[in-house]
Amino acid sequence: MGLRINDTAPDFTAETTQGTINFHEWLGDSWGVFVSHPKNFTPVCTTELGTMAGLADEFTKRGVKLIGISVDPVEDHARWKDDIRTATGFSVDYPLIGDKDLKVAKLYDMLPAAAGDSSEGRTPADNATVRNVYVIGPDKKIKLMLTYPMTTGRNFDEILRAIDSIQLTSKHQVATPANWKQGDDVIITAAVSNEDAVKRFGSYETILPYLRKTKQPTA
């Protein structure tokens, strides 16, 4: 059975560009974005990790820690950082896991179990499933999972938007509609009665009996 939303994110100990970490201990009381990429020194991955580095302050404002992983050794990550900075103008200051024995990738269903036990000789095509995003809450539960194909770079603005929604809806009994962004109206969940909705939100608009919109809560 693969990982699902609300499962506990598997814990692990791994070597990274910032030393050995225990994942749950490293995450602490923060939110986390855990991203994998197929292989170092490849074009799409270079743009992705640089873009994520350029948005580091936005993630920090939301209490989110960043961490990356591939099956390349840590020493390759360190060399690749220079290329990322050259290509994107941003320095990767978050840790990158060197998962050359494939243990963490298999733990998170980033590779099939039959993928062997070493990264030696592997190509980007061998690692085709390793372009994943996990958003993990302070409770260590998986809140969001995304998997992208080899040829499609991730949209980190969308990941930030999703985090905004997840954090908002974890505090209030609301949901966010399609294409919602910070500051837009939200949907009152079915668990809130009409009477309670007035008490909580002051006013709301009934679009359909099961679709009630209100201003985004600020507290």
Q: Give the CA radius of gyration of the chain.
A: 19
* 87, 88, 93, 98: CA torsion to nearest 10: -50
Collect all residues with Cβ–Cβ distance below 8 Å to 127 and sequence separation of at least 6: 38, 39, 70, 71, 111
Is 68 within 8 Å of 74 (Cβ atoms)? no
Residue that the structure tokens 């290509």 belong to: 87
Q: Is 213 helix (H, G, I), strand (E, B) or coil?
A: strand
45 carries an active-site annotation: yes
Is 144 within 8 Å of 134 (Cβ atoms)? yes
Run of H or E residues at 198: helix 194-201
**Residues 45, 96, 130, 159: which is the catalytic one?**
45
Catalytic residue numbers, as ranges: 45
